[in-house]
Structure 1
Amino acid sequence: MRAMRFMRLGMLAALPATAWADGEAVDRGRWLARQWCSACHTIAAQAPGGRNDAAPAFPTIAARRGATAEGIATYLRLPHANMPDHGLTARQAQDLAAYILAQRPR
């Protein structure tokens, strides 16, 4: 019984850390998007538009059916046409994916 109480307490203590980590990923992704992506992409609904009409806006990417953080992060790390290779680390790609998905229209 006592072990169960400690386990529940441990699970509850972990919840705020997980939520905070997600917010930090979005913040890091926002910074990366402003530095590297905003020249071509519209990175938020209220942000100025990017200079490349062929580059989809982040809210549009986020609204795509089936868009997931894992899928976006993987796509960002693969070479693809019309986008420079920024040499993103896995963490940077995950942070950008978190920020992109945070732009999903509500």
Structure 2
Amino acid sequence: MRVRDVCFVGSALIVACILLVPGQANAAGDARSGRQIAQRWCASCHLVAPGQATGSPDVPSFQAIARSEDLTEALLTAFLSSSHPRMPDMSLSRREIADLVAYIRSQR
């Protein structure tokens, strides 16, 4: 694992611990709504759906992200809850994040 990867996983776990309040169930997201969010916010860089023709070559597709065993639902939620230099600050609500995570997970 590279230092960058370790830092990402560590920070994602911290954010996940903050977001996942004990005793409070996290509502399952709506993959259909997540697809709309992905097409609006993510499709300019990521391949977000089968059949999409263009995306940035250095950016993983949603299918590749979904198939990564290291990227759990909690880690994806944490990642989407914080800003990152390479991604636009989307300022998604918790509901939108849950929907986007549900859509990404549906791409397995």
Q: Please give the TM-score of this superposition, normalised by the length of structure 1.
A: 0.69
2:92 to 88, 95, 103: 88
Deviations 1:8-65 (A, max 9, x none): xxxxxxxxxxxxx85x700000000111110110002332231x22221000000101
- 2:68 alignment partner AA: R
- 2:87 alignment partner AA: M
Q: CA deviation at 1:94?
A: 0.9
For structure 2, list consecutive stretches of 5 or more residues without a partner in the other structure: 1-26
Match of 2:77 in 1: 73
Q: Please give the TM-score of this superposition, normalised by the length of structure 2.
A: 0.68
Q: Which structure has greater helix proportion?
A: 1
RCO higher in structure (CA 8 A, sep ≥6):
2
CA RMSD of aligned residues (A): 1.7
How many residues align structurally?
82
Aligned residue runs from structure 1 range 1-106, under 5 A = 25-50=30-55, 52-104=56-108
SS in 2 for 1:80: coil
Give percent identity, aligned residues only.
35
For structure 1, list consecutive stretches of 5 or more residues without a partner in the other structure: 1-20
> C-alpha distance in 2, partners of 1:25/1:69?
14
